[in-house]
A = this chain, B = another copy of it.
Amino acid sequence: MNDSTTGSDSIQVQLKKGALELCVLALLSRKESYAYEISSTLAEAVGMGESTIYPLMRRMQKEGLVQFRLAETSTGPSRKYYTLTHAGRRRFEKQRSEWTNFMTAVNGIVGDSQ
């Protein structure tokens, strides 16, 4: 609200902040998951580093986009399983459409060049 989030609608912000956040939101919209798994998936897909995910998850939690529960495993330390909140789902839809717009704009400039 009101968050003076700097005018968060600028596409520029989406470019930097959005693409990774968008991917995390997309993954969580399908099933709950934990940071390590998300980062492994996104490491392959878009080259995300592991040390990027933890600050990102905390930021998203702080913004109320995700929540988590702890779960034990038989394969190592316990996991924090994250799920989207309502706000997270809304954010996902918003980011997705902004991504589409951005992509279209860039493709319009790039693809056009004969």
Contact = CB atoms under 8 A, between A and B. Distances in A.
Interface in A17-51: 19-20, 22-23, 26-27, 29-30, 41-42, 45-49
Chain A interface SS verdict (over half): helix
Given A26-B113, A30-B114, A110-B96, A105 B46 contact: yes
Nearest to A28: B113
A106 interface: yes
Contacts of A87: none
A102 B46 contact: yes
Given A47-B10, A102-B46, A109 B23 contact: yes
6 contacts: A12-B49, A15-B16, A23-B110, A29-B113, A45-B105, A103-B103
